[in-house]
């Protein structure tokens, strides 16, 4: 992402060419003298009515809405020392983020080299109070050394970060420029009650590619989108088809009454440009987060201390309860609230305080709503039998502490010890299994407290191979039953077959971390 200001000139020229081509495509050809040959047009002489029929309920123009709300939308210019690779991204999605504005190194008149490399970038934001509080995306202002807010009337004002939340990718900044002392800024309100329906109109305003206040319109395409990244733990995204691009980050989406229904955050794009699939943080999440940041500068969320996974349909069928939805506990944090309350690995959580949860993200969102010390009532299935467990919420650590990153040096197939004869091998589920002895522990660096059976080989074309199992993984349990030998694995598979199941739920341990994987039973 190395676009510079000169790139915008090229883009503008290219845009003019595209416009001419579009006119030609509409039946208008540009002659050598610039004259246009156009087809006959029916004119409405006196009534002033449109010459076309808009869709039912559609405004004839978004101009009134834009005129009303656009003064509250700002361009946010950021100067930062952060590396471009670390900043030019949306968590989990590539191709959409703040716009690099380009810095000219070694400009004329510079006597000394700068203290360090600097990056200039731009995003969007909007005022939510008259005294200068602005909502934007966390990734727009993260690592910012200087923040400048550019208003619609051209004023450029200094601002500072009030608080940031990595969990929702939201941030609040405030204008602190002496020139704005006593100013009464135009601001907009969030809409949390009359939520628009799928198919309702939406208008976005922002700073795409650093071009300044730009309006686009579309409809709400869907609700409850999960982007598959860390922010989806706390956000059910709104999908919109109003064109948004790099630089729209942090800008608002409005309903036809000029109320903020979302904060534009990401796009799905195979090309890096808008293809009509954008995502916005819902107004209720944005407003609640902004209020907390303004009040205390940080977000406090509930926490129980459990590593969880979606309890998928395939897992449910493997356990003989195809209608069950929820989240399964893979691992507990020692000394955390969940462990203290008596929750156990392989427990399946189906509801939080009476609210059904169908995935790990939904469970995390519900738990996050709790205040520290507050009682959380969990509906749990253990061994297929329901029970209720009360957990006292803790305080969720920072996302960086919880998710330090994946290990990029995983050993996916260390050679077996040639001096150790392989005995008691067993093939099933597309796997070659062998005892977890001292030699295997040394070869694959398996901790002494891990119990189970070594996966000594994986057929690449098997269900296990397609799901990513590798040599050196440990099969720890089958359908909730701990296995310590190949014979116990065979017994567990036979029991599943007898019950008419076509798959089993395997607990796999890799580098000390457990994960549940449903595996098809092979003949």
| Three-state secondary structure readout of 183-247 | CCCCCCCECCCCCCCCCCEEEEEECHHHCCCEEEEEEEEEEEECCCCHHHHCCCEEEECCCCCCC
Using the CB atoms, write b or e for 187-226: b if 16+ within 10 Å.
Answer: bbebbbeeebeeeebbbbbbbbbbbbbbbbbbbbbeeebe
For residue 87, the model assigns a pLDDT of 37
CA distances from 314 to 348, 383, 462, 502 (A): 14, 17, 16, 10
For residue 45, the model assigns a pLDDT of 35
CA dihedral for 9, 15, 17, 23, sign (positive or negative): negative
For residue 159, the model assigns a pLDDT of 93
From the candidates 97, 139, 221, 253, which is the catalytic residue?
139
From the candidates 122, 124, 249, 393, which is the catalytic residue?
249
DSSP string, 394-406: EEPPPHHHH----
For residue 58, the model assigns a pLDDT of 61
Residues in the chain: 523
DSSP-derived pairing of the beta strands 453-458 and 474-478:
antiparallel
pLDDT at 269 over 80: no
Which of 117-121, 413-417, 497-501 has the weakest average pLDDT?
413-417
493, 521 Cβ separation under 8 angstroms: yes
54 pLDDT band (50/70/90 cuts)? Answer: low
For residue 198, the model assigns a pLDDT of 94
396, 364 Cβ separation under 8 angstroms: no
Which of 119-133, 400-414, 428-442, 488-502 has the weakest average pLDDT?
400-414
For residue 56, the model assigns a pLDDT of 62
For residue 92, the model assigns a pLDDT of 36
pLDDT at 109 over 60: no
CA dihedral for 117, 120, 123, 129, sign (positive or negative): positive
Q: What is the pLDDT of residues 160-176, one digit of tens each?
A: 999 999 889 999 999 99
Domain boundaries, the chain: 201-285, 302-402, 426-520
C-beta neighbour count of 499 within 10 angstroms: 9
For residue 96, the model assigns a pLDDT of 38
Rounded Cα–Cα distance for residues 512 and 517 (Å)? 16
Q: What is the CATH code for 302-402?
A: 2.30.42.10
Percent of the chain with pLDDT strictly greater than 90: 33
181 pLDDT band (50/70/90 cuts)? Answer: confident
Instruction: Dig out the tokens for 263 from the structure.
Output: 């904060």
Q: What is the phi/psi pair of residue 290, to 5°?
A: -60, -40
Q: What is the CATH code for 426-520?
A: 2.30.42.10
Rounded Cα–Cα distance for residues 41 and 296 (Å)? 60
Contacts of 15 (CB under 8 A, 6+ apart): none
pLDDT at 422 over 50: no
pLDDT at 192 over 60: yes
Task: Calculate Rg over the CA atoms of the chain.
Answer: 28
For residue 209, the model assigns a pLDDT of 85
Which of 59-73, 211-225, 376-390, 413-427 has the weakest average pLDDT?
413-427
Mean pLDDT, residues 20-45 taken together: 33
341, 347 Cβ separation under 8 angstroms: no
pLDDT at 123 over 50: yes
Q: What is the pLDDT of residues 290-300, one digit of tens each?
A: 999 999 878 88
Which of 159-163, 166-170, 275-279, 436-440 has the weakest average pLDDT?
436-440
For residue 403, the model assigns a pLDDT of 56
Contacts of 21 (CB under 8 A, 6+ apart): none
Average pLDDT, the chain: 77
Q: What is the dihedral of CA 512, 513, 516, 522, to 10 degrees?
A: -40
Instruction: Dig out the tokens for 150 from the structure.
Output: 């550019």
Catalytic annotation present for 312: no
pLDDT at 388 over 90: yes
Mean pLDDT, residues 334-356 taken together: 91
**Would the CATH topology of 201-285 be identical to that of 302-402?**
no
From the candidates 165, 169, 255, 463, which is the catalytic residue?
169
Percent of the chain with pLDDT strictly greater than 70: 75
CA dihedral for 219, 287, 205, 247, sign (positive or negative): negative
Mean pLDDT, residues 305-320 taken together: 89
Rounded Cα–Cα distance for residues 237 and 277 (Å)? 12
**Best-predicted range by mean pLDDT among 82-86, 395-399, 423-427?**
395-399
pLDDT at 483 over 90: no
Rounded Cα–Cα distance for residues 306 and 299 (Å)? 20
**CATH 3.40.50.1970 given to domain 201-285:** no
CA dihedral for 239, 242, 245, 247, sign (positive or negative): negative
Catalytic annotation present for 70: no
Contacts of 293 (CB under 8 A, 6+ apart): 162, 163, 164, 165, 170, 171, 172, 299
Give the DSSP H/E element, type plus range, for residue 516: strand 513-520
**Best-predicted range by mean pLDDT among 104-108, 125-129, 269-273, 400-404?**
125-129
Mean pLDDT, residues 413-422 taken together: 35
For residue 291, the model assigns a pLDDT of 94
Mean pLDDT, residues 170-187 taken together: 90
Report pTM: 0.63
Catalytic annotation present for 169: yes
Return the half-sphere exposure (C-beta side, CA atoms, 13 A cut-off) of residue 322: 5
Burial of 72 (0-12, 13-18, 19+ CB in 10 A): buried
CA dihedral for 329, 331, 333, 335, sign (positive or negative): positive
Rounded Cα–Cα distance for residues 221 and 211 (Å)? 26
58 or 52: which leads in pLDDT: 58
Which of 3-12, 42-51, 161-170, 357-366 has the weakest average pLDDT?
3-12
116 pLDDT band (50/70/90 cuts)? Answer: low
229 pLDDT band (50/70/90 cuts)? Answer: low
Using the CB atoms, write b or e for 258-277: b if 16+ within 10 Å.
Answer: bbbbbbbbbbbbeeeebeeb
């Amino acid at each position: 992402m190395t676009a510079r200001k000169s790139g915008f000139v090229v883009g503008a020229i290219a845009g003019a060419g595209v416009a001419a081509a579009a006119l030609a495509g509409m039946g208008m050809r540009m002659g050598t003298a610039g004259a246009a040959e156009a087809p006959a047009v029916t004119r409405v002489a006196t009534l002033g009515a449109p010459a076309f029929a808009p869709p039912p309920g559609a405004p004839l123009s978004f101009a009134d809405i834009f005129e009303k709300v656009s003064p509250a939308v700002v361009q946010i210019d950021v100067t930062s020392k952060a590396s471009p690779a670390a900043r030019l991204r949306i968590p989990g999605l590539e191709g959409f983020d703040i716009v690099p504005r380009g810095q000219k190194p070694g400009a004329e008149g510079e006597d000394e080299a700068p203290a360090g490399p600097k990056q200039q970038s731009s995003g969007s934001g909007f005022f939510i109070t008259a005294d200068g509080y602005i909502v934007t995306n966390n990734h727009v202002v993260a690592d910012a050394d200087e923040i400048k807010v550019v208003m619609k009337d051209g004023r450029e004002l200094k601002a500072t970060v009030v608080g940031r939340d990595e969990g929702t990718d939201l941030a609040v900044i405030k204008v602190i420029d002496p020139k704005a002392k006593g100013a009464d800024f135009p601001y907009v309100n969030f809409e949390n009650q009359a939520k628009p329906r799928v198919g309702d109109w939406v208008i976005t305003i922002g700073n795409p590619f650093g071009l300044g206040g730009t309006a686009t319109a579309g409809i709400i395409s869907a609700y409850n989108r999960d982007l598959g990244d860390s922010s989806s733990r706390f956000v059910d995204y709104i999908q919109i088809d109003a064109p948004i691009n790099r630089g729209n980050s942090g800008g608002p989406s409005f309903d036809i009454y000029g109320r903020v229904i979302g904060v534009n955050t990401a796009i799905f794009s195979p090309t890096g440009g808008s293809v009509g699939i954008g995502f916005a943080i819902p107004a209720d999440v944005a407003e609640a987060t902004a209020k907390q940041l303004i009040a205390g500068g940080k977000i406090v969320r509930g926490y129980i201390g459990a590593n969880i996974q979606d309890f998928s349909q395939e897992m449910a069928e493997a356990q003989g309860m195809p209608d069950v939805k929820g989240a399964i506990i893979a691992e507990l944090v020692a000394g955390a609230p969940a462990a203290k309350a008596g929750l156990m690995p392989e427990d399946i959580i189906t509801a939080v305080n009476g609210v059904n949860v169908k995935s790990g993200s939904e469970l995390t969102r519900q738990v996050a709503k709790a205040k520290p010390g507050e009682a959380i009532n969990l509906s749990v299935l253990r061994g297929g039998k329901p029970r209720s467990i009360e957990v006292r919420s803790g305080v969720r650590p920072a996302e960086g502490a919880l998710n330090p990153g994946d290990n990029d040096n995983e050993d996916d197939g260390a050679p077996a010890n040639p001096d150790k004869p392989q005995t008691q091998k067993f093939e099933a589920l597309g796997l070659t299994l062998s005892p977890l002895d001292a030699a295997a522990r040394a070869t694959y660096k398996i901790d002494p407290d891990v119990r189970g059976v070594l996966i000594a080989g994986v057929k690449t074309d098997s269900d296990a191979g397609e799901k990513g199992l590798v040599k050196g993984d440990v099969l720890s349990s089958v359908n909730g039953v701990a296995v310590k030998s190949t014979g116990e694995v065979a017994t567990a598979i036979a029991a599943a077959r007898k019950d008419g199941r076509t798959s089993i739920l395997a607990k796999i341990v890799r580098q000390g971390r457990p994960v549940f994987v449903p595996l098809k039973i092979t003949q």
